[in-house]
């Protein structure tokens, strides 16, 4: 029952528990003075003078606690535990490593194609270059890189997992007939056919199947327009400011982009293992259509098989001409490196092969310009630990190297996590030196080289 009248919050007694009985005539002479009153406590009604005595006892206990805490604090300071006057002085750490290391500049003189657009990126070192000012152009089936990227963002595939199944609808099966009549790239699909997500992605990426692009889009977003809206929203997030998608396959000339923008989405898509594995396949085998070959000619097992080429996607329509996005792997200083290159708007016979060769030439030339740079030497001074009258060097405990392109800027930072005290022995840990470029970050511990003064 809720408290009534003067009861405390949460009181569950009855009114008779709250209101004291009226005093009898015989008790009148024993009543307290009016100023003493009666006070509510957790136990009911108690005399005012008893409450006053209780408060006095609490105040005394609180004063005792304050005095004890003060005495303990003084003792801690006197023995140096609290870092007071009795503790060894703490060193000031002054960083002497410059904030950046700029490599000498050199012009790579890329072998850009004579027509169309081209671009190259090396994500590991944060390098990007393009053939010149770009304008959005139709990019044909290279659009499917974004289609795969959106699908894998919404439905990630773990390594070795095929993912959920898609059942081909009658309307989607009709897309195959439409593609045949309009000479679009496709694979045969039938109503009721069941494909795993991985099979549908591989068919779209390897054989550039437009009908599977539509099937994946509808499965992911419910309709083509809804999926295209996702594609364009993702392009904005990736900084693809000269890109606009109008379909999921790239068949329409209204899906436009640039070579540099295509490499932005390719860099994102290559982070998905299912994508990287799919675009490296020279062929794919599907339940109804059987085995279909890749249109990317330079892949291992392809018509122009080239060592180091590991994808990604070609494209051709009469409006777009020929184009190719290519991933090229090499090794520099014992470290693996992937170079991405793209070309658009190529014309002429065997245009896909020609586009692939152009992209490969750009990628290989960029790779040849990568150098292994000593970021720091073992024993190199990065800071000084100083106390009055003494300064000792703080040095790197090991050497480190980074990959870089000429003219790049390596960021250098010393993160101090411990200030040694006077009397600290040589080798006291101070922190970490960080060297950052592109996707690379190397961390090297730094320590003192000498005893820090005398205690």
Residue 390 lies in a domain: yes
Residue 7 lies in a domain: no
Tell me: do 227 and 311 sit in the same domain: yes
Residue 230 lies in a domain: yes
Tell me: do 351 and 385 sit in the same domain: no
Residue 192 lies in a domain: yes
* pLDDT (average), residues 328-353: 94
Residue 1 lies in a domain: no
Cβ-based neighbours of 24, under 8 Å, separated by 6 or more: none
Tell me: do 324 and 409 sit in the same domain: no
Tell me: do 288 and 398 sit in the same domain: no
Instruction: Report pLDDT digits (tens) over 216-232.
Output: 999 999 999 999 999 99
Among the ranges given (36-40, 245-249, 420-424), the one the predictor scored with the smallest mean pLDDT = 36-40
Alpha-carbon distance of 356 to 131, in angstroms, equals 16
Tell me: do 332 and 382 sit in the same domain: no
User: Widest CA span of the chain, in angstroms?
Assistant: 124
Residue 278 lies in a domain: yes
Residue 388 has a pLDDT of: 86
Identify the band that residue 262 occupies on the pLDDT scale cut at 50, 70 and 90: very high
Alpha-carbon distance of 127 to 120, in angstroms, equals 8
Instruction: Report pLDDT digits (tens) over 351-366.
Output: 999 999 999 999 999 9
Tell me: do 330 and 441 sit in the same domain: no
Range of the domain at 32: 25-87
CA-based torsion, 210, 211, 215, 216: positive or negative: negative
Residue 2 lies in a domain: no
Q: How many other C-beta atoms are found inside a 10 Å radius of the C-beta of residue 425?
A: 10
User: What is the four-CA torsion angle of 64, 66, 68, 74, rounded to 10 degrees?
Assistant: -150
Q: Which of 335, 368, 401 is the last residue of a domain?
A: 368
Identify the band that residue 80 occupies on the pLDDT scale cut at 50, 70 and 90: very low
Instruction: Report pLDDT digits (tens) over 271-281.
Output: 999 999 999 99
Closest CA to 330 of 299, 370, 298: 370
Tell me: do 349 and 305 sit in the same domain: yes
Residue 58 has a pLDDT of: 52
Residue 89 has a pLDDT of: 84
Tell me: do 396 and 282 sit in the same domain: no
Tell me: do 407 and 348 sit in the same domain: no
Residue 228 has a pLDDT of: 98
Residue 270 has a pLDDT of: 96
Tell me: do 387 and 312 sit in the same domain: no
Q: Which of 368, 396, 417 is the last residue of a domain?
A: 368
Tell me: do 314 and 358 sit in the same domain: yes
Identify the band that residue 108 occupies on the pLDDT scale cut at 50, 70 and 90: confident
Residue 432 has a pLDDT of: 97
Residue 283 has a pLDDT of: 92
Identify the band that residue 295 occupies on the pLDDT scale cut at 50, 70 and 90: confident
């Amino acid at each position: 029952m809720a408290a009534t009248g003067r009861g405390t919050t949460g009181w569950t007694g009855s009114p008779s528990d709250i209101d004291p009985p009226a005093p009898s005539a015989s008790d009148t002479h024993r009543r307290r003075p009016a100023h003493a009153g009666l006070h509510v406590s957790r136990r009911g009604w108690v005399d005012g003078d008893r409450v006053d005595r209780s408060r006095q006892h609490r105040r005394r206990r609180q004063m005792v606690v304050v005095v004890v805490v003060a005495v303990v604090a003084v003792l801690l300071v006197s023995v140096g535990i609290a870092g007071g006057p009795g503790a060894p002085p703490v060193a000031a750490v002054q960083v002497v490593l410059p904030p950046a290391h700029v490599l000498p500049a050199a012009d790579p003189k890329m072998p850009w194609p004579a027509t169309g657009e081209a671009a190259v990126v090396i994500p590991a070192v944060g390098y990007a270059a393009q053939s010149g000012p770009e304008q959005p152009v139709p990019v044909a089936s290279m659009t499917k890189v974004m289609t795969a990227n959106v699908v894998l963002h919404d439905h990630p595939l773990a390594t070795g997992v095929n993912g959920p199944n898609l059942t081909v609808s009658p309307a989607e099966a009709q897309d195959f007939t439409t593609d045949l009549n309009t000479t679009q790239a496709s694979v045969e699909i039938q109503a009721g056919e069941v494909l795993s997500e991985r099979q549908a992605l591989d068919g779209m990426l390897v054989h550039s199947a437009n009908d599977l692009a539509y099937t994946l889009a509808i499965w992911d977003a419910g309709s083509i327009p809804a999926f295209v809206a996702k594609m364009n929203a993702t392009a904005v997030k990736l900084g693809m400011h000269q890109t606009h998608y109008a379909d999921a396959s790239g068949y329409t000339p209204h899906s436009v982009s640039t070579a540099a923008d295509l490499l932005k989405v390719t860099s994102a898509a290559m982070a998905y293992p299912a994508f990287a594995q799919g675009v490296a396949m020279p062929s794919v085998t599907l339940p109804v259509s059987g085995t279909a070959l890749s249109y990317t000619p330079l892949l291992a097992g392809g018509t122009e098989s080239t060592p180091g080429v590991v994808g990604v996607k070609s494209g051709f329509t009469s409006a777009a001409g020929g184009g190719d996005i290519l991933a090229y792997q090499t090794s520099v200083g014992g470290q693996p490196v992937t170079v991405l290159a793209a070309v658009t708007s190529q014309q002429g016979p065997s245009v896909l092969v020609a586009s692939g060769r152009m992209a490969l030439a750009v990628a290989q030339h960029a790779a040849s310009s990568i150098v292994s740079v000593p970021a720091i030497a073992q024993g190199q001074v990065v800071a000084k630990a100083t106390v009055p009258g003494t300064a000792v060097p703080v040095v790197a405990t090991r050497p480190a190297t980074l990959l870089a392109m000429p003219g790049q800027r390596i960021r250098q930072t010393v993160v101090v996590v411990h200030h040694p005290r006077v009397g600290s022995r040589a080798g006291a840990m101070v922190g970490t030196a960080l060297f950052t470029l592109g996707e690379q970050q190397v961390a090297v511990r730094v320590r003192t080289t000498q005893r820090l003064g005398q205690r």
